[in-house]
Amino acid sequence: MSNPKINTIPLPLVRTNQWTIFISVILTWITGQYWLLLIPLISGLSGLLFDFHPMIKFAKRFLKKKASSYPQEDKDQQNFNQTIAVSCLSLAFIGALLGWNVLFYVFSIMVALASLIAINGFCIGCYIHFQWNQYKYRKSLR
């Protein structure tokens, strides 16, 4: 009897993704080089569409211990969070390309704040996901 594959991601790799998003947005604000948003955007899209997240794969090389020995994060939850991040990054990038500064700043601030708050231990995407599931459950009871 085989053990089912645990569908988790080591916390240091999740943190790498969060820092990549945060630093890319900050550097974009400082330099005005909007293409920097493409780093976490393309990496995140690749993770969602092809289950290959280049930043996480790169960061995995630097883990000092076996990946399973770190605290783990649920992969499905992280994909939900990544979907939100990719959406915000996409809208920010589109806003930058079109010169729509309000769109750029609203969505770049949202994703930067969400990643910084997550780095500090509170997952906004997890909270949204939980509330959404609660809503669906309550709706199913009617």
Mean pLDDT of 25-34: 98
Please give the pLDDT value at position 142: 86
- For a pLDDT cut of 70, what percent of the chain falls above it? 96
Instruction: Enter the pTM of the model.
Output: 0.92
Average pLDDT, the chain: 95
Give yes or no for residue 4 having a pLDDT over 60. Answer: no
pLDDT in tens, 57-75: 999 999 999 999 999 999 9
Task: Write down the domain spans for the chain.
Answer: 8-141
Closest C-alpha to 115, from 55, 46, 50? 55
Residues of 111-131 as b/e, b for ≥16 C-beta within 10 angstroms? Answer: bbebbeebeeeebebbeebee
Q: How confident is the model at residue 118 (pLDDT cuts 50, 70, 90)?
A: very high
Give yes or no for residue 24 having a pLDDT over 60. Answer: yes
CA–CA dist 43, 57 (Å, integer): 10
Please give the pLDDT value at position 3: 53
Q: How confident is the model at residue 2 (pLDDT cuts 50, 70, 90)?
A: low
